[in-house]
């Protein structure tokens, strides 16, 4: 290979990385997770491709355990998007895994200016949880606490994550905001509320229980966008961010 050709390849690579830096991604981890969990390999891949990425500990993390309601979570993402804008980012994307994917959809439904939303292993479906008697009872208790003026107290409830359960405490309004079957965390409804401007990448592992729902669950409800795509990868719920990292990188390159 000649020196001139090598220099040309290096220059082309630098130009590509610079172009990718104009796309910023807020990356949201899953329920009970952290930024160092399943989404970490994807974060590394995105940074390696030149994208600007913000990945922070969110209200549904292992340590925070619902310390803010859904609106509070949206406000945190707002602040992270503002950081990307201040850094000169031109194209804004919100991405997430599991409950993070759910929250990414919720945020995108409120922000039609976003260029893209990436939902990987989408999880936490309140409209389906209404069939769970314990969750239904906890919702009744939470609403009763609010009605009786005990909104500042904490509700103890059993959270569900891919068949696992965990005891969690949260203020009743916070619990309701994430678990209300008619509330802001219902993915089919939020997909339908996306702007036609916002492209949607939906990625699900073949061995994830959500794969049985297919694109008809929420993806098909989103407005048509030529860049939107539904992808099935050979992964389970937790390995999908790692397995799909090149799929996500390649898709993001098409947004500019």
* pLDDT tens sequence across 71-83: 999 999 999 999 9
With CA atoms as reference, report the closest residue to 63 among 171, 175, 168, 172.
168
**Whole-angstrom Cα distance, residue 13 to residue 15?**
5
CATH of the domain at 255: 3.40.50.1820
Q: What pLDDT is recorded for position 19?
A: 54
The residue-averaged pLDDT of 29-38 equals 97
Residues with Cβ within 8 Å of residue 106, at least 6 apart in sequence: 70, 74, 184, 185, 190
- pLDDT for 35-49, tens place per residue? 999 999 999 999 999
Q: Which two tokens stand for residue 184?
A: 């802001």
Q: Which two tokens stand for residue 116?
A: 């893209």
Q: What pLDDT is recorded for position 7?
A: 41
User: Domain end: 162, 183, 204, which one?
Assistant: 183
**Whole-angstrom Cα distance, residue 44 to residue 51?**
10
Residue pair 62/91 in contact (Cβ under 8 Å)? The answer is: no
Helix%, strand%, coil% for the chain, nearest 5: 45, 20, 40
Q: What pLDDT is recorded for position 114?
A: 98
Question: Which residues constitute the domain of residue 203?
Answer: 19-124+185-256
Q: What pLDDT is recorded for position 44?
A: 98
Q: What pLDDT is recorded for position 17?
A: 45
User: Domain end: 165, 183, 201, which one?
Assistant: 183
Q: What pLDDT is recorded for position 245?
A: 98
Q: How confident is the model at residue 11 (pLDDT cuts 50, 70, 90)?
A: very low
**Whole-angstrom Cα distance, residue 178 to residue 94?**
19
Q: What pLDDT is recorded for position 9?
A: 42
User: Domain end: 166, 183, 200, which one?
Assistant: 183
Give the chain's domain count.
2
Q: Which two tokens stand for residue 153?
A: 């107290």
- pLDDT for 56-68, tens place per residue? 999 999 999 999 9
- Which pairing describes strands 155-161 and 164-170: parallel, antiparallel, or unpaired? antiparallel
Most confident of 18-27, 160-169, 216-225: 216-225
92 has pLDDT over 90: yes
Q: What pLDDT is recorded for position 39?
A: 98
The residue-averaged pLDDT of 28-40 equals 97
106 has pLDDT over 80: yes
Residue-by-residue DSSP string for 213-250: G-TTTTGGGSPP-TT-EEEEES--TTTHHHHTHHHHHH
Q: Which residue has the tokens 């992270």?
A: 80
Q: What pLDDT is recorded for position 240?
A: 98
Residues with Cβ within 8 Å of residue 201, at least 6 apart in sequence: 116, 117, 118, 119, 228, 229, 231, 247, 248, 251
Residue 13 lies in a domain: no
Q: What pLDDT is recorded for position 163?
A: 87
Q: Which two tokens stand for residue 110?
A: 């409120």
Minimum mean pLDDT range among 6-20, 171-185, 234-248: 6-20
Task: Mark whether 45 and 89 lie in a shared domain.
Answer: yes
The residue-averaged pLDDT of 28-39 equals 97
Task: Mark whether 163 and 61 lie in a shared domain.
Answer: no
Q: By CB neighbour count within 10 A (0-12 exposed, 13-18 middle, 19+ buried), where does 55 fall? A: buried
């Amino acid at each position: 290979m000649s020196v001139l050709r090598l220099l040309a390849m290096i220059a082309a690579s630098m130009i590509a990385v610079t172009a990718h830096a104009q796309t910023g991604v807020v990356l949201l981890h899953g329920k009970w997770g952290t930024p160092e969990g399943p989404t970490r390999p994807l974060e590394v891949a995105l940074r390696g491709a030149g994208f600007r990425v913000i990945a922070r500990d969110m209200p549904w993390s292992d340590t925070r355990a619902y310390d803010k309601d859904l609106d509070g979570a949206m406000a945190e993402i707002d602040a992270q998007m503002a950081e990307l804008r201040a850094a000169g980012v031109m194209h804004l994307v919100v991405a997430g895994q599991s409950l993070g994917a759910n929250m990414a959809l919720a945020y995108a439904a409120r922000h039609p200016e976003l260029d893209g939303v990436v939902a990987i292993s989408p999880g936490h479906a309140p409209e389906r949880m209404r069939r769970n008697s314990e969750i239904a009872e906890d919702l009744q208790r939470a609403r009763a606490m609010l009605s009786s003026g005990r909104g500042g107290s904490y509700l103890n409830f059993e959270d569900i994550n891919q068949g696992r359960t965990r005891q969690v405490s949260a203020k009743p309004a916070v619990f309701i905001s994430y678990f209300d079957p008619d509330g802001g965390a219902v993915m089919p409804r939020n997909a339908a509320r996306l702007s036609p401007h916002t492209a949607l990448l939906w990625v699900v592992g073949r061995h994830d229980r959500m794969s049985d729902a297919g694109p008809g669950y929420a993806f098909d409800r989103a407005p048509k966008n030529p860049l939107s795509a539904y992808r099935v990868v050979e992964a389970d719920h937790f390995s999908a961010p790692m397995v799909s990292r090149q799929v996500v990188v390649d898709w993001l390159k098409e947004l500019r």
